[in-house]
């Protein structure tokens, strides 16, 4: 069957990492992206001639250095003259959302060759600050603008959540984890063993990944046992269960139309086709969600992406679920109908953000690049990548194969369906009885409990947040199940548990 010449196809991928001994010798994220795009062009075959054909340079937003239009700087380093430059908003969903947007633009005839890249240099930045070394990286005038910015740019937390210290991933994802445990009816010990074993399996994949930041396989005991080095962060997560942002990593994808790939001379054994994609977000603020252990947006995204591709989840041979914390993986797996321990189908192709590395918003550029390599080695099989931003908030998903999609690339945006689902009202100022919905206990660096953060349901079903700094209560919250317990919240957010 002839392939529509407008069909989008990924033709080149690359990943890099570095651990510079002297931060002063490190190149900037823009230079890292130019370098990894050259490697991706070499991976595709044509090299620099393919880069020169680019009519769009598309960059995942960065944490480690500020640029207003990084795509123009990357293009200049590559000698490319694109018609457009694009940068995303913050969020781990951004790379897959960018790929989905790119595939639609290529299929619609708006683009022929697109370069997608991202890089983070937090390893260098943190060590340069500690050593008081000035990084002489190029600054970009603030008034330089890209052609457009992809994604929603609004705060991920509400004023109430901010006031109750619900503002960082390390504070929110443990709340999801404790809600998952309670919903499953598992004891604390049972659940800790389960998620430690899950993360051990992820570390096994990272050990085989040449692009992983940590390649030493960890046992479940090593991951789950709290020590001075593996200290508590937010119960129930010791450090090993948190995403590792302290990396210098870059990744790139080159996406073309079939017509452009052929014109550039890219061998067909390099081709991996996006089959379908879907984008949607859950109710934006965590406080508004019906429960704290599911994601309707992931479920609807998955249903749409699989349906549009004409496949079922059992047809998918390779999976990479977004994996900033174990709760993100469990929620993704349950919504897509995946088992947590399928020996022939692990839930990651990289090793995840704790072990392969969590380079800011750019992890999924790495997971897509890794998926392309996996699919090239297993021609005809299907792969699925998920991406997630903020607090299980923003979602994107994509299906891939070396075989062309039967009906071209297809894309969905089931936002209206998500928005129609029940939404809880959040209450800022409340004094009265509640039921504990979920919680976490944040810890100091010395391992001592610092603050208990508690999600509470009012008798009428509304939600509020509370906190405690009472040492005995915080200790008990790490040893006993508190989800479902009655409590009293005082005005200002202090909680009292009988």
CATH code, domain carrying 67: 3.40.47.10
Asked, for residue 483, whether it belongs to a domain, the answer is yes
Q: Are residues 269 and 395 in the same domain?
A: yes
Owner of token pair 């600054």: 139
Q: Are residues 370 and 492 in the same domain?
A: no
Owner of token pair 């080159």: 254
* Domain CATH for 459: 2.40.50.840
Domain boundary among 389, 419, 449: 419
Q: Are residues 290 and 359 in the same domain?
A: yes
- The phi, psi pair for 494, rounded to 5°, reads -75, 135
Asked, for residue 165, whether it belongs to a domain, the answer is no
Q: Are residues 383 and 444 in the same domain?
A: no
Spell out a b/e string for 444-471, using b for 16 or more CB atoms within 10 Å of the CB, else e: eeeeebebbbbbbbbeeeebbbbbbeee
Owner of token pair 């969600």: 289
Neighbouring CB atoms inside 10 A of 404's CB total: 18
Cis omega (within 30 of 0) on the bond before 459? no
Give the span between the Cα atoms of 172 and 439, in whole angstroms: 9
Residues listed for the chain: 498
Give the span between the Cα atoms of 354 and 165, in whole angstroms: 23
Using alpha carbons, select from 139, 467, 414, 420 the residue that is nearest to residue 279. Answer: 414
In this prediction, residue 48 carries a pLDDT of 86
- The phi, psi pair for 182, rounded to 5°, reads -65, -40
3-state secondary structure at position 464: strand
Neighbouring CB atoms inside 10 A of 183's CB total: 15
- What is the Cβ-side half-sphere exposure of residue 445, based on CA atoms within 13 angstroms? 0
Under a CB-based contact definition with an 8 Å cutoff, are residues 374 and 351 in contact?
A: no
In this prediction, residue 1 carries a pLDDT of 67
Q: Are residues 370 and 256 in the same domain?
A: yes
Q: Are residues 395 and 313 in the same domain?
A: yes
Q: Are residues 277 and 415 in the same domain?
A: yes
Using alpha carbons, select from 452, 453, 440 the residue that is nearest to residue 177. Answer: 440
**Residue span of the structural domain in which 15 resides:** 8-155+245-419
- What is the Cβ-side half-sphere exposure of residue 439, based on CA atoms within 13 angstroms? 28
Q: Are residues 141 and 265 in the same domain?
A: yes
Under a CB-based contact definition with an 8 Å cutoff, are residues 98 and 146 in contact?
A: no
pLDDT by residue for the chain (498 residues), tens digit each? Answer: 689 999 999 999 999 999 999 999 999 999 999 999 999 999 999 888 899 999 999 999 999 999 999 999 999 999 999 999 999 999 999 999 999 999 999 999 999 999 999 999 999 999 999 999 999 999 999 899 999 999 998 999 999 999 888 899 999 999 999 999 999 999 999 999 999 999 999 999 999 999 999 999 999 999 999 999 999 999 999 999 999 999 999 999 999 999 999 999 999 999 999 999 999 999 999 999 999 999 999 999 999 999 999 999 999 999 999 999 999 999 999 999 999 999 999 999 999 999 999 999 999 999 999 999 999 999 999 999 999 999 999 999 999 999 999 999 999 999 999 999 999 999 999 999 999 999 999 999 999 999 999 999 999 999 999 999 999 999 999 999 999 999 999 988 999 997
Asked, for residue 200, whether it belongs to a domain, the answer is no
Asked, for residue 111, whether it belongs to a domain, the answer is yes
Asked, for residue 168, whether it belongs to a domain, the answer is no
Q: Are residues 382 and 253 in the same domain?
A: yes
The single-letter DSSP state of residue 405 is P
Q: Are residues 492 and 374 in the same domain?
A: no
| DSSP states of 140-207 | --TT---SEEES--S-SS-HHHHHTT--SHHHHHHHHHHHHHHHHT--HHHHHHHHHHHHHHHHHHHH
Asked, for residue 203, whether it belongs to a domain, the answer is no
In this prediction, residue 47 carries a pLDDT of 82
Q: Are residues 447 and 395 in the same domain?
A: no
Domain boundary among 391, 419, 447: 419
In this prediction, residue 165 carries a pLDDT of 80
Q: For the chain, how many structural domains are there in total?
A: 2
Domain boundary among 419, 441, 460: 419
Asked, for residue 259, whether it belongs to a domain, the answer is yes
Q: Are residues 397 and 492 in the same domain?
A: no
Asked, for residue 332, whether it belongs to a domain, the answer is yes
């Amino acid at each position: 069957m002839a392939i529509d010449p407008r069909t989008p196809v990924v033709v080149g991928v690359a990943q890099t990492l570095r651990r510079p001994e002297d931060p002063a010798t490190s190149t900037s994220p823009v230079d890292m992206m130019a370098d990894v795009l050259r490697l991706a062009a070499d991976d595709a075959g044509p090299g620099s001639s393919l880069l020169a054909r680019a009519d769009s340079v598309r960059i995942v937003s960065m944490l480690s250095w500020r640029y207003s239009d990084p795509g123009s700087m990357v293009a200049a380093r590559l000698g490319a003259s694109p018609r457009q430059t694009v940068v995303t908003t913050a969020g781990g969903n951004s790379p897959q959302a960018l790929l989905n947007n790119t595939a639609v633009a290529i299929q619609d005839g708006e683009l022929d060759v697109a370069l997608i890249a991202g890089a983070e240099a937090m390893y260098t930045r943190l060590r340069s600050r500690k050593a008081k070394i000035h990084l002489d990286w190029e600054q970009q005038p603030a008034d330089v603008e890209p052609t457009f910015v992809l994604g929603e740019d609004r705060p991920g937390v509400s004023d109430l959540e901010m006031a109750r210290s619900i503002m960082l991933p390390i504070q929110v994802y443990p709340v999801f984890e404790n809600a998952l445990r309670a919903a499953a009816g598992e004891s604390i010990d049972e659940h800790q063993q389960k998620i430690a074993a899950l993360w051990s399996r992820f570390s096994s994949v990272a050990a085989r990944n040449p692009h992983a930041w940590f390649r030493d396989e960890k046992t479940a005991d090593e991951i789950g046992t709290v020590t001075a080095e593996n200290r508590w962060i937010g119960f129930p997560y010791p450090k090993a269960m948190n995403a590792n942002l302290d990396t210098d990593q870059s990744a790139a994808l080159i996406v073309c139309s079939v017509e452009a790939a052929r014109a550039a001379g890219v061998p067909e054994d390099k081709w991996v086709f996006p089959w379908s994609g879907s984008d949607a977000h859950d109710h934006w603020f965590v406080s508004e969600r019906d429960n704290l252990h599911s994601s309707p947006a992931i479920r609807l995204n998955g249903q749409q992406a699989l349906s549009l591709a004409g496949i079922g989840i059992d047809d998918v041979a390779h999976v990479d679920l977004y994996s900033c914390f174990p709760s993100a993986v469990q929620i993704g797996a349950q919504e897509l109908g995946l088992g947590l321990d399928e020996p022939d189908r692990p839930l990651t192709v990289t090793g995840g953000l704790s072990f392969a590395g969590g380079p800011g918003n750019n992890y999924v550029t790495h997971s897509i690049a890794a998926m392309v390599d996996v699919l090239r080695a297993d021609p005809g099989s299907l792969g699925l990548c998920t991406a997630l931003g903020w607090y299980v908030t923003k979602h994107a998903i994509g299906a891939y194969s070396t075989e062309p999609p039967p009906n071209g690339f297809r894309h969905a945006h089931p936002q209206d369906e998500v928005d129609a689902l029940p939404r809880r009202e959040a209450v800022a100022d409340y004094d009265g009885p509640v039921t504990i919905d979920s919680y976490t206990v944040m810890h100091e660096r010395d391992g001592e409990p610092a603050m208990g953060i508690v999600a509470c349901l009012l008798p009428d079903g509304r939600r509020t947040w509370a906190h405690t700094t009472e040492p005995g209560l915080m200790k008990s919250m790490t040893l006993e199940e508190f989800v479902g317990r009655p409590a009293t919240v005082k005005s200002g957010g202090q909680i009292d548990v009988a």
